[in-house]
Amino acid sequence: MATTTITVSGMTCGHCVSSVREEIGELPGVTDVRVDLASGRVEVDSAAPLSDDQLRSAVAEAGYEIVA
């Protein structure tokens, strides 16, 4: 099991959180996604480590971006 923490910019409401959670949750091996709207912090549990490209792509699909 691996846990990855990222920060996502641009989320302003519960719908934003749901979109990010849904897109990341569709990545292969993801078992849980926890999103904190106030800080933009996203914790992802997965069976194996996820690549930066996988996460960036999922977050972009939701309409947001990862803070470097």
Domains and CATH numbers, the chain: 2-66 (3.30.70.100)
12-47: per-residue pLDDT in tens?
999 999 999 999 999 999 999 999 999 999 999 999
Name the pLDDT band for 64 (thresholds 50, 70, 90): very high
3-state secondary structure of 61: helix
pTM: 0.93
Residues 6+ apart with CB under 8 A from 44: 3, 4, 5, 6, 24, 30, 32, 33, 34, 50, 55
Name the pLDDT band for 68 (thresholds 50, 70, 90): confident
